[in-house]
Structure 1
């Protein structure tokens, strides 16, 4: 079975290609320089012969998107449509990666896969458009929403927190935003398991189980870095105003995974305990993934 991963240079793309190659799969990773996802002719050529296409390509600069929504839409909306159309034309299964930002963040219980979407940011709107385009162009697609991603292959919250804590000896982190920190290696594993299980067409949530605030996660990061978690002080979103609104509640439910017979990712704290050394650069990323 031949896999093609678009957006292969990102955190998730790197871990997915690594996971598939480790399994001995026939996998081709395409970064931005290899494939312009807005070019249908190029995508049609690149995806020819694929059995499974995973679209990890995305414009993820959440704040920058507020000033240039058209640039975000080109990748997240048009690019999603192009990849979906090309994958459908190739007869390939498609897994499209989306985000919690399609929701308004006002819930108090985990968002179901079929909950109404109501994005509040340019990034969220463009990702919602991408979901719509994928479903329209590829009737057999799997849409996998994720959130709060971290990994060894790029900049992420844990790396920033560990560095700032070491440099400053203390920091303030918002405690009124709650979500599910998710390791990209775990999400890559989930994508592989969904395809292997022949999961039904539809939307799935690829996040860790449980939930925590950014403050709580930062404390766990600082502890893993060998520092005192007490140096992380709680604050509110009002103290850190950003161009794009952040969801206050980004907890996603996993009913669709259970219904498909696919186990969700484990608890965020247990997964972080396994991921921490690799993500913070204290262990090689070639280490095996413990499930």
Structure 2
């Protein structure tokens, strides 16, 4: 085993050990914040049930217990494979998440895929043809993409492509996965709305990275040896500029999953984000806690993958503490 392999193994082990610690801290903070507002889920029953019914309701979900006891009961359930029962639907939280997760994962995948397909050629052209109209256009569009809130962009896309032109459906919530043609079409607009900001960010990162590499000595040497400019751009500059892009894309996967909350609501998609929003409105503690913990886990895992991928594609990165 080489020194690099050993360093990488030790790095991964350290990060894997850190994940449960971070998740524990996140779970404590999230649990406290969720239970902080006055009036629990029983407040939604106040106009429909008497005091006795409310007491029974609170007893059923351990809401009369001290907060630390409620937390310990929740953690005990997680460790034994149970995420609890939804207060609003009386269904297992794990089942609710399992039924909604595929929609969110598909939305996240298409959003990242679309953003990469837009950003890579845009960033490449912007760097290769610096200070031309193409560069200025890409820079302006990237700035606009970063400036427009994704929910506002979603409304604009619905107005143009669904209402005015009728090219794409607004949603396929009633036929999600039963009609794959409709499902894929219904993914286009939310994926664009969610992926535009990421595309703009990656475009700027790729352009900046390529411009930095142009000033490196090995690029000047390649040109001095008479290599065609296209080969220099594609095989040397572009290839090395992709290193930070890979990291950014992996890091943004965690962001994309969290950002689906608003997009799924706008497009009425039966995903995890919409489940989270509905649980907030219904003060469904078990669902809120489980979804937030899942988002935190996904974010930490994608961060770990990004760090490892960065080291694998760039041999200059050392995991033993030297850079």
* TM-score, normalised relative to structure 2: 0.23
More helix by share: 2
Relative contact order: is structure 1 or structure 2 higher (C-alpha 8 Å, sep ≥ 6)? 2
Q: Report which of the two has the higher share of strand.
A: 1
Computing the radius of gyration from Cα coordinates, the structure with the larger value is 2
